[in-house]
Structure 1
Amino acid sequence: MPFLNDAGEVVELHLGAHGEEISESNPENRFRVEWLDEVERLLDEVVATPTRPLVITATGKFFSNGLDTDHIVAAPDQLPAYLDRVHAVYAKVLTLPVPTVSAVNGHAFGAGAMLALCADHVLMRTQRGFWSLPEAALTMPFTRGMATLLRTRLTDRTATEAMYTSRRYGADDAVGAGIVDEAVDADRLTARAAEIAGARAATVGPNLALIKRGLRAPLLDDLARPTPPGVF
Structure 2
Amino acid sequence: MCTLEKRGSVLILTITGSGEHRLNPTLIDAIRSALSRVREEPSSPCSALITTAQGKFFSNGFDLEWAGSSLSKRQLMSDKLFSLVTDLISLPMPTIAAVSGHASAAGLILALSHDYVLMRKDRGFLYMSEMDIRLVIPDWFVTVLRMKIGSPKVMREVIMRAAKITATEGVEMRIVDSAHGSAEETVEAAVRLGEELVGRKWDGHVYAQNRLAVSRELREASDRITSGPDETVGGSEGNIGSKL
Q: Same fold (TM over 0.5)?
A: yes
Equivalent residue number for residue 88 of structure 2: 93
Whichever residue aligns with residue 87 of structure 1, its letter is F
Among 187, 191, 215, which residue is 1:190 paired with?
187
- Residue 200 of structure 1 aligns to a residue whose secondary structure is helix
How many matched pairs? 224
* Partner Cα distance (1:204, 1:14) in 2: 25
Counterpart position of 2:234? none
1:222 partner amino acid: A
Change (3 A) 1:213 1:110: same
Which residue is 1:167 aligned to?
A: 163
TM-score using structure 1 length = 0.91
Q: Share of identical aligned residues, percent?
A: 28
Shift of 1:217: 1.0
Q: Which runs of 5+ in 1 are unaligned?
A: none
Aligned CA distance change for structure 1 residues 50 and 73 (closer, same or farther; 3 Å): farther
* 2:6 matched residue in structure 1: 6
- Please say if residues 13 and 55 of structure 1, whose CA atoms lie closer than 8 Å, have aligned partners that are also in contact: yes
| Unaligned stretches of 5+ residues in structure 2 | 232-244
Q: Which moved more, 1:195-204 or 1:129-138?
A: 195-204
Query: Which residue of the other structure, out of 136, 153, 158, is the alignment partner of 1:157?
Result: 153
SS of equivalent residue, structure 2 residue 68: helix
Judged with a 3 Å threshold, the aligned counterparts in structure 2 of structure 1 residues 43 and 164 are, in CA distance, closer, same or farther, namely same
Output aligned runs, 1:52-71, within 5 Å: 52-71=47-66
Alignment match, 1:199 = 196
Deviation at 1:77, TM superposition (A): 2.8
Aligned to 2:177: 181
Tell whether the 8 Å contact from 1:50 to 1:98 is kept in structure 2 after alignment. no
Structure 1 counterpart SS, 2:16 = coil
Question: What SS is found at the alignment partner of 1:123?
Answer: strand
Q: CA RMSD in A?
A: 1.6
**Which residue number in structure 2 is paired with residue 122 of structure 1?**
117
Aligned to 2:236: none
Contact (CA 8 Å) 2:24, 2:77: kept in 1 or not?
A: no
1:212 aligns with 2:207: no
Distance in 1 separating the partners of 2:117 and 2:222: 21
Q: Distance in 2 between matches of 1:85 and 1:66?
A: 13
Matches within 5 A, 1:74-85: 74-85=69-80
Specify the code of the residue in structure 1 equivalent to 2:110: L
Deviation at 1:231, TM superposition (A): 5.7
4+ residue stretches of structure 1 with deviation over 4 A? Answer: none
1:46 is the counterpart of 2:38: yes
What letter matches 1:35 in structure 2? L
Deviation at 1:151, TM superposition (A): 0.8
The Cα shift of 1:48 comes to 3.0
State the secondary structure of the residue aligned to 2:190.
Answer: helix
How far apart in 2 are the matches of 1:70 and 1:210?
37
Maintained 8 Å contact 1:80/1:228: yes
Q: Take 1:204 and 1:227, find their aligned partners in 2: how far apart are those partners?
A: 35
Q: CA deviation at 1:70?
A: 0.8
The 8 Å contact of residues 23 and 77 in structure 2, kept in 1 or not, is answered as no
